[in-house]
Amino acid sequence: MNSFRWMRRGLLVAPGAGLDFYTHASHPCIVHRKNDEFTLIFSMRDLLKRSHIFTQECQISSGWIKLNGVAKVVMSPGRMGTFDCEGLLACSPVEVDDKNYYFYYSGWNNLTSGLWLCDTGLAQISKATMKFSRLFEGPVMGRSRFNPYFAAATAVIREKGIFRAWYNSGIDWVLQSDTSYKPKYGIHYAESENGIDWSFQKGQVIPFADQNEHSFGRPTVVHWDDTYHMWFSCRGSNSDPEYKIGYASSKDGLFWERCDSRCGITLASNEKDFDSKAQSYPYVFEHDEFRYLLYSGNNYGSTGFGYAVLISE
């Protein structure tokens, strides 16, 4: 099989998106409005390091994305004590009918000793107004007997009335020699008839590359040309602490063949570029005859996020 080739277009949304009191720009995803009009959805941090969900309108045509207007907050951390009271990370919009999208996001809680929880929440987006409304104060995927640590960073698609999710489930917190803990989590699979109540498949669907790899960032899954394609970010392999983008393919979405060399994008060669050290949280979509890759840059999006366009496979 041939490798993908993505042409980097560079930075799209700078950290803070031009707004005061916000940093980073990460976890991009997108919804189609009409014609060439789209709405970007992404996360940025306030000065207390709590992530909020933002949107910004854009126009997409002939392999280029043009921003319109300014970014605005559409969801903020929940009430104290809820699963998302310390931050929200954008994950996956899914069309549910002619009026609404479901929007899956990760909610953040900090624990003691540097540990954290990150579970999956669900909001609804009105197509007419682009208003975001939480459907529940609690997560729809969370810590349970199926996922003892957390269940988040979720990619969801809907096929033949079934919601299919590829999500990160916590595996362990590994004690280090300096008494800190390193997270270990991998991509798992679940299905749902209503997008709310989930049946979980046991075990990882993407293997670790080696004994040092320990974490996967939010994946993206598309079904193109009778094949499922997944891009994901991963770190730890060969003792590299920075996120890089990996790739896997599947005929059924259940059993995957990992082949990172096919992912089609590598770090920028210019050290001043936003993605010279890391690339993470990929999101793939298509419009007209073009296929696009949104992704975050260095340090979990502290340098913003950009995009690339597929030029060959």
Q: Which two tokens stand for residue 240?
A: 């590299």
Q: Regarding predicted confidence, which is higher, 210 or 238? A: 210
pLDDT at 29: 98
Query: For residue range 232-262, what is the model confidence (pLDDT) as tens digits?
Result: 999 999 888 999 999 999 999 999 999 999 9
CA 226 to chain centre: 23
CA distance 26 to 133: 21
Beta bridge partners of 59: 37, 66
**Rounded Cα distance, 313 and 46, in Å:** 39
> How close are the terminal C-alpha atoms of the chain, in Å?
9
Q: Is 103 helix (H, G, I), strand (E, B) or coil?
A: strand
pLDDT at 173: 96
Q: How far apart are CA 248 and CA 229, in angstroms?
A: 6
Phi then psi for 238, rounded to 5 degrees? 55, 30
Residue 71, SS3 per DSSP: strand
Q: What is the pLDDT of residue 1?
A: 59
Percentage above 90 pLDDT, the chain: 97
**CA-to-CA dists, residue 7 to 29, 63, 66, 223, 278, angstroms:** 18, 10, 16, 21, 17
pLDDT of residue 145: 96
Q: What is the chain's mean pLDDT, rounded?
A: 97
Instruction: Report whether pLDDT(312) > 90.
Output: no
Mean pLDDT of the 117-126 span: 98
d(CA 188, CA 166): 6
**Can you tell me the distance from the alpha carbon of 83 to that of 70, in angstroms, rounded to the nearest whole number?**
29
The confidence score (pLDDT) of residue 66 equals 98
* pLDDT tens, position by position, 264-298: 999 999 999 999 999 999 999 999 999 999 999 99
* Torsion angle (degrees, nearest 10) of CA 146, 150, 155, 158: 40
Architecture of domain 5-312: 6 Propeller (2.120)
Sequence spans of domains, the chain: 5-312
* 84-114 burial: b if 16+ Cβ within 10 Å, else e: bbbbbbbbbbbeeeeeebbbbbbbbbeeeee
Judge whether residue 14 has pLDDT over 70: yes
pLDDT digits (tens, 9 = 90+) for 162-206: 999 999 999 999 999 999 999 999 999 999 999 999 999 999 999
Instruction: Please give the single-letter amino acid code of residue 104.
Output: Y
Residues across the chain: 313
Does this model's pTM top 0.75? My answer is: yes
Is residue 158 scored above 90 in pLDDT? Answer: yes
Q: Which helix (H) or strand (E) holds 186?
A: strand 181-192
